[in-house]
Structure 1
Amino acid sequence: MKSETLRRLRKRDSFVAVTPSAIIFAAFVVAAVAAPLIAPQNPYDPLQIFGWEASSPPGTKGGGGYLYLLGTDGLGRDIASTILYGLRISLMVSLASTTIAALIGLAAGVSAAYFGSWIDIAIMRTVDLFLSLPTILVALIAIVSLGPGVDRIVLALIIVQWANYARVARAVALGERSKSYIDSAHLLRLPTVRVIFRHLLPNSIAPALTLIPIEVGHAIALEATLSFLGLGVPVDQPSLGSAVANGFQYLLTGQYWISFFPGLALFGLIASVNFVGEDVRSRLDPRSKT
């Protein structure tokens, strides 16, 4: 049986409509991908940093020929370049963790609904355990246990996120499990793996599609929080969270730009992702009129 979600997407041409939030998010993605080409300097290359130009205000013309449009931080790194390179880490970590967490959570939730019995109990009690704890606490415990590194941050975010997908997928799959096409698949003696991944899972995936953009924004915020606390990416790699943290100690001296512009970019990125998620939800919701 073909997925109802896929048929709905084909019928609703407005799903692919361009919205302002989608344009803004696409601009962030393009800026992140093209960072090595458009950034005035590599802020993490010591040969391109001039320490005597530290804490230069926005619009300063540097001795090395750079125009510090957004100023420099306490080490002389161009703020605009730091933001562009930091976007790459934020997007890479959030998209990778959300994608893997969605796959794990969907498989776990659908399996719990299909098999029931002790498998359902074991999976859902584990889900309840993860959802009962604050996400930042789980992320902190995971990152402290795993150690620093981009790959470990991705793993920590997967641990935080997968339970949300499992709960939603199970709720939908329970309704699909009792439908006639599943009974027909059993009568045809189709393999269990085929029933789950070919029939049940595609028809249970719609809520996950609406959850993914929200979780991407959640992952960006968590990564930035961990980096702000010094538990995220290593200090020799760019991150919007660490860029905000670098300027925190300079706020009282009036050097606001060191934290303000990276924080503004972080806010804009998360807001655009959340608006895209809301737009996807409204377009996939069969009760939506627009």
Structure 2
Amino acid sequence: MTATLDAPLLVPGTVPGSGPESGAGRPPKRPAGPGRGIRTRLLHVLRQPTLVLSIAVLLLVTLWALAPTWFTAWDPIEGVARDRLQPPSATHLFGTDNLGRDLFARVVHGSATSLAATTVAVIVGLTVGSFFGLLAGFLRGIVDDAIMRFMDVLLAIPSLLLSLALITALGFGTLNVAIAVGLASVASFSRVMRAEVLQVATAVYVEAARVSGVRWYTILRRHVLPNASGPVVALAALEFGVMVLAISSLSFLGFGAPPPTPEWGSLVSGGRDYLAVAWWLTTLPGLVIVAVVLSANRISRALERNGGTR
């Protein structure tokens, strides 16, 4: 009598199915809960020093905007004549301007105006652009062609020139500048949203929902929009830095808040006539703008690498 080659080799004193290959006696693996997922993401962020620094910069500037008196006790409007054009020191961290006003206080208080305008611009661009991109990608056909040709026309116009044209129509002021910058970015959001919607709309689960008789607006709300929003959020983070630069540029040209209201672009503009004797009037506010723009770009790259909010 011959034994088959496929028969398992049994060791005396053991029970079938209790060997090391069966996994018996091992503690069951616990599923990763939400707390463990948050810790994993936090550790992943902490391993990237530039990302941590970028988040810290944006948090600091946000605190400047929300609670400026925590960081400076100087008045951003009233100055002391005898302290005019003093260089950076322990008393005046960023020095003083030609009217004796503390420059650090003006930068801190001006962050509220600049960040509020940038937030409005991002919301306008994200909302309007995503709406048109969603319609174009979901309805397709003649609607898609009409919307995308209009977006191509907007993309053909330089964003700063388009913003200036819109400001001419809307009028001067920080709010109008924010709306104009936001409308100038509609085409970028629209194209990204359309591309994501076209990809998601052909997925198996979306087709299954259509065959099951689910209404189109339910499919749009439950399936298409949540799964297509990740790259658009990453683009919004990138556009935040671009819009900070655009709004500061328009404020530098005199289209923003009227003086003496502090605003980052107007602070850089106000120090142009004193570059030879007071370099800090333009350099230090300019470095703040550069730090915010670079931080937003770094966070945008991290969101894009991780698939946005998916």
Which position in structure 2 is the counterpart of 1:59? Answer: 89
Equivalent AA in structure 2 for residue 50 of structure 1: V
Deviation above 6 Å: which 4+ runs of structure 1? none
CA root-mean-square deviation: 2.3
1:161-200 correspondence to structure 2 within 5 Å:
161-200=185-224
More helix, by proportion = 1
Match of residue 39, structure 1, among 72, 76, 84:
72
From the CA coordinates, give the structure whose radius of gyration is larger: 2
Distance 2:151 2:172 in 1: 26
Which position in structure 1 is the counterpart of 2:45? Answer: 17
Task: State TM-score, norm by structure 1.
Answer: 0.85
Which position in structure 1 is the counterpart of 2:176? Answer: 152
Which position in structure 2 is the counterpart of 1:4? Answer: none
Structure 1, unaligned runs of 5 or more: 1-6, 61-66, 286-290
1:85 touches 1:238 (CA, 8 Å); kept in 2? Answer: yes
Which position in structure 2 is the counterpart of 1:275? Answer: 298
Distance 1:52 1:98 in 2: 42
Structure 2, unaligned runs of 5 or more: 1-33, 47-51
Report the secondary structure of 1:17's partner residue.
helix
Distance 1:82 1:23 in 2: 21
Deviation at 1:123, TM superposition (A): 1.0
Distance 1:123 1:160 in 2: 15
1:254-265 correspondence to structure 2 within 5 Å:
254-265=277-288
1:223 touches 1:241 (CA, 8 Å); kept in 2? Answer: yes
Deviation at 1:192, TM superposition (A): 2.7
Match of residue 120, structure 1, among 144, 162, 170:
144
Equivalent AA in structure 2 for residue 35 of structure 1: P
Deviation at 1:143, TM superposition (A): 1.4
Deviation at 1:196, TM superposition (A): 1.6
- Greater RCO (CA < 8 Å, at least 6 residues apart): 1
Deviation at 1:35, TM superposition (A): 0.8
* 2:79 maps to 1:79: no
Report the secondary structure of 1:201's partner residue.
helix
1:206-285 correspondence to structure 2 within 5 Å:
206-252=230-276, 254-284=277-307
Distance 1:11 1:78 in 2: 42
Which shows bigger deviation, 49-58 or 141-150?
A: 49-58
Task: State TM-score, norm by structure 2.
Answer: 0.80
The structure-2 alpha-carbon separation of the partners of 1:22 and 1:196, relative to structure 1 and needing over 3 Å to count, comes to: same
2:124 touches 2:179 (CA, 8 Å); kept in 1? Answer: no
